[in-house]
C-alpha cells in the first residue's frame, strides 16, 4: 500500500470525528483498496478482528469473511473463528491493512 495513503488513514483513525470531506474521500479510497485483502481491525472495546474484507459502506460498516476475533476477558484471551460477519463501523478504532492480528 502507498505510504502516503496509509498515513492519511492513520490521520483518520486518530481523529475519527473530523468532518473534512477530502479526508473522508481518502479513507474510502484506502478501505476500497483493501477489498479482497486481509485487514486487522482494533475495536473500541477489548476486541481485535482479523478477516478478509468483502465490502463496506459510507459509514465504514464492513463485511468480513474468514474472521478471527481476539477478545480480552477476565479469564484471559479468547479467540473465536467465524465464517462471516457484519461489523459496525461506529466501533472501529483503527484499521491495519494486511495485519494478521495480535500475537497469540
- The phi, psi pair for 38, rounded to 5°, reads -75, 145
Dihedral (Cα; 63, 6, 37, 67), 10-degree rounding: -50
> What's domain 3-97's architecture?
Roll (2.30)
- What residue ranges do the domains of the chain occupy? 3-97
pLDDT > 90? residue 13: no
Q: Averaged over 12-35, what is the pLDDT?
A: 63
- The secondary structure element, H or E, covering residue 27 is helix 21-33
For position 21, what pLDDT does the model report? Answer: 53
CB burial readout 8-37, b (16+ within 10 A) else e: bbeebeeeeeeeeeeeeebbeebbebbeee
Confidence of residue 22 (pLDDT cuts 50, 70, 90): low
The burial class, CB within 10 Å (0-12 / 13-18 / 19+), for 41 is buried
Q: Averaged over 47-70, what is the pLDDT?
A: 94
Amino acid at each position: 500500500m502507498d505510504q502516503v495513503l496509509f498515513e492519511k488513514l492513520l490521520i483518520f483513525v486518530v481523529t475519527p470525528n473530523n468532518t473534512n470531506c477530502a479526508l473522508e474521500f481518502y479513507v474510502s479510497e484506502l478501505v476500497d483498496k483493501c477489498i479482497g485483502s486481509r485487514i486487522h481491525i482494533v475495536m473500541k472495546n477489548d476486541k481485535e478482528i482479523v478477516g478478509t474484507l468483502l465490502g463496506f459502506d459510507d459509514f465504514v460498516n464492513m463485511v468480513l469473511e474468514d474472521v478471527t476475533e481476539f477478545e480480552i476477558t477476565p479469564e484471559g484471551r479468547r479467540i473465536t473463528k467465524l465464517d462471516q460477519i457484519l461489523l459496525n463501523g461506529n466501533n472501529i478504532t483503527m484499521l491495519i491493512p494486511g495485519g494478521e492480528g495480535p500475537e497469540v
